[in-house]
Amino acid sequence: MKFSNIIITNFRSYYGENKFEFAEDESQPVTMVVGNNGGGKSSLMRAIQWCLYGEDIKEIKHNESKVPTCEVAINFSHENNLYRAHRRITSGQDSFLRLLKIDKKDGRESGEIGEPQLTINGFLPIELKSWFFYEAEGSGAASANHHNLLDGNRYSKDALRKIQGFTKIDQLIEDLDKIHKDKARARVKQGENLEAQHFQEQIDKLEIKLEPILATKISADDDITRYSEKIEDLQEKYRNTPSTKPLQEEMDRLNPQINSANTRLLLKQKKQKSFLADHLVIFLIKQLITKNQTPKQHKEGVQLIRSPDNTDLYSEIKANGECICGTTIIPGSSEDDKVRKFLTDKSKDKDKNIFNSRARGVETVMSTIDLQVEKFEKERIEIKDDIDDIESDIKTNSARVAQLGLDIEKIGNTESKIKKIRDNINDLTSLQTAANATSAKASNKVTDIRESIADLTRQRDMADNNRTMTDSLTSFIKKIGSIKEYVEKKQKQDEVVALTTLMIDLNEAVKKTSFANIQCKIDSDTYAVRVFDTTTGEEKPALNDGDKELIKTCLVACVVGQASKKSQAKNKYLAQATSAPIIIDAPFTKMDVDYISGCVSVLLEKTEQLILLSLPADYKKYEDEVFSKLGKKYAVVRADRGPRNTEDITKYKLFKKDIDLVTFDNVDEHDAESVTQSRIVEVK
């Protein structure tokens, strides 16, 4: 499938008829559409999807109250034929799709296809559209099937197999099996071999028994996938739902810290004041002391007025029994008492000692003052630094608490929402466990029954082999059996080759984007993409949004690339792959800028027709890479009724030209309430 052009009439922001061509040339296969947010890029993608599949899209019509109908027509080629898909909706009615065959020579309608939706689904099945019409930004419906793309599931696997055409071969194998069984049954009936017929009856009974069990298993498997997807969605929602609990906990932790810091600050400030007040005395006195000033008397006093200590002299007099003046001293006599008192009583020196002590104290205080003056600045700064540190802590923590308060207010009460999500996850996990058990039980039964059928078939054939094997029915059965065996074998080989090729392509594509340290492996059972670090050999547990977008885009490009005509010719699979243009809305928005050019080159290499709907800023990131491949260049211009304010209109340098993406020229004299419109303008 390759798009030639599209005509959009009154669809969403597109008013009137808007027709434009898609790039089809192999050397320049890219159609580039650049526009601002809200300009109409996504509406273009929706228009294509609505035309082909008629999905329920809100506000399909431009200005519902004014326009009676809206329609989108796409001209495209498929398998060397030309078609026009044309969908139209009129107020109050369902949309109506026509699929017309177009004559290659004169471009006129040459016939109408009876089952248009079925036919289009045959060209590009609806379940595969998200692989080709890819909303990279991840906000739209089309991206819903993609956000778990790398995690792998049955739908992803089915989709990948379907794109590569393997599901058609599955159907073929099933049909061949049915024919083989029917013919074998007919042969037994024809042969009238009672033993063989007995076995056949048992086989038929088991076949009947198998059907509901298979249905149960398929249903259980569907449930498992459905629950799994729902659980993943809820888990993502759970991860993305902001909780006030950790914020509240942080706040509860910080508040006592702030209170404690405030108390410490108050104490420290008082200590600071006390420190300064105590030093007032120091500085006041220091300025009054002249250099080397000391109480002179004190110095002399220390040397001259000693505390008399005549105890030894008295002991000597007492021992000699005679004073130095010649007086006889009798122990216990009044003379002895007089001499003892005179020589040992220190009370008369007390005042001198006090004076000395004071003078020495005054001198010590003066040296203390000198010392304190020297230490003052250092201690003052230390105290100030302590206060600054505490104040800084309080300021930081208070700002954080204020922010937490605002965040908590903004988030509101999300705890009940979180609990609900968690409960839903638990409920779904229980359901998934039950579905797993049902599936496993059914699977065992299916295996048992199939083994029994195989055993009975062998016994039937042995019983039946007594007959002559030359009749035409037997020959037909043998042929069908051989064909089925070949197709099954080839299908298995093709699938192994396809998966291996896809893995090689994906790793080459990822490597091209300079993302050199990872290797992707695709699980053959689930088709999940597992990403390994090549330096450590360990699986990467979580990828950021940019890396995810990169790998997803590479995977989509590689899958679509495998389905391209070029790859089909090379691979020679039995199956015929689905080929369609790839449209990416808002590509590379989350991707690291270093990887974009590599990713663009992968897309250019793998796809036959590429339509990119990009924001101006994003487009500028990869303009150099893509410019030479641009077959068609468009700007989506938003046309407003008139400037409503004085905002500056940003001019863009797009496609090497200056382009306005907003105009004010849609004033309609007959339509006083004209609203914003989108126009697609080709840039040549």
Partner 1 sequence: MDYFEKGRGNFWYSTKYRDLMNSLRHMDGMDKIEGADLYQGIGHVLVMAAAIGLSKGLSEPVDTGQKNRNDVFIGGWNNQNLHGQPLAFWAALIVWLEKGDEDAPILKPENDPELCDKFNELAMGGLAYLRKKQFSSGGTDITGYTVINDELSAAILKLKNKK
* CB nearer partner 1, residue 300 or residue 671: 300
Asked whether the beta carbons of 103 and 110 are under 8 A apart, the reply is: yes
Length of the chain: 684
* Burial environment of residue 60 by CB neighbours within 10 A (0 to 12, 13 to 18, 19 or more): buried
Please, what is the minimum distance in Å from the beta carbon of residue 363 to partner 1?
A: 9
Cα–Cα separations (whole angstroms), residue 450 to 65, 183, 197, 444: 62, 19, 19, 10
* CB nearer partner 1, residue 273 or residue 489: 273
CA 109 vs. chain centroid, Å, equals: 48
Give kind and range of the element (H or E) at residue 582: strand 582-585
Residues 245-284 that bind partner 1 (CB under 8 A): 263, 266-267, 270-271, 273-274, 276-284
Helix (H), strand (E), coil (C) string for 296-313? HHHHHHHHHCCCCCCHHH
Residues 359-378 that bind partner 1 (CB under 8 A): 359, 361-362, 364-366, 368-369, 372-373
Q: Which among 542, 548, 539 is positioned nearest to 515, based on CA atoms?
A: 548
Please, what is the minimum distance in Å from the beta carbon of residue 617 to partner 1?
A: 57
Told to check if 381 binds partner 1 by CB under 8 A, we report: no
* CB nearer partner 1, residue 91 or residue 368: 368
Please, what is the minimum distance in Å from the beta carbon of residue 233 to partner 1?
A: 56
DSSP 150: G
Q: Which of 289, 437, 504, 667 binds partner 1 (CB under 8 A)?
A: 289
- The amino acid sitting at 375 is K
- The amino acid sitting at 576 is Q
Told to check if 354 binds partner 1 by CB under 8 A, we report: yes
* CB nearer partner 1, residue 266 or residue 330: 266
- Lay out the site mask for partner 1 across 535-574 (x = CB under 8 A, - = otherwise): ----------------------------------------
CA 132 vs. chain centroid, Å, equals: 22
Told to check if 307 binds partner 1 by CB under 8 A, we report: no
Told to check if 391 binds partner 1 by CB under 8 A, we report: no
* CB nearer partner 1, residue 220 or residue 359: 359
Please, what is the minimum distance in Å from the beta carbon of residue 245 to partner 1?
A: 35
Told to check if 384 binds partner 1 by CB under 8 A, we report: no
Told to check if 302 binds partner 1 by CB under 8 A, we report: no
Q: Is 683 helix (H, G, I), strand (E, B) or coil?
A: coil
Please, what is the minimum distance in Å from the beta carbon of residue 289 to partner 1?
A: 7
CA 219 vs. chain centroid, Å, equals: 31
Told to check if 304 binds partner 1 by CB under 8 A, we report: no
Helix (H), strand (E), coil (C) string for 389-407? HHHHHHHHHHHHHHHHHHH
Asked whether the beta carbons of 5 and 584 are under 8 A apart, the reply is: no
Please, what is the minimum distance in Å from the beta carbon of residue 406 to partner 1?
A: 30
* CB nearer partner 1, residue 4 or residue 294: 294
Question: What whole-number distance in Å separates Cα of residue 247 and Cα of residue 410?
Answer: 12
Told to check if 454 binds partner 1 by CB under 8 A, we report: no
- Which residues, listed in sequence order, are joined to residue 378 by a DSSP beta bridge? none
Please, what is the minimum distance in Å from the beta carbon of residue 389 to partner 1?
A: 19
DSSP E strand stretches across 256-402: none
Please report, for the chain, how many H helices and E strands are present, in that order: 17, 17
| Count of chain residues binding partner 1 (CB under 8 A) | 43
* CB nearer partner 1, residue 296 or residue 410: 296
Q: Which span sits near partner 1 by CB under 8 A: 202-210, 229-237, 348-356, 546-554?
A: 348-356
Structure tokens at 405: 């308060």
Q: Is 3 helix (H, G, I), strand (E, B) or coil?
A: strand
Q: Which residues bind partner 1 (CB under 8 A)?
A: 263, 266-267, 270-271, 273-274, 276-289, 293-298, 351, 353-355, 357-359, 361-362, 364-366, 368-369, 372-373
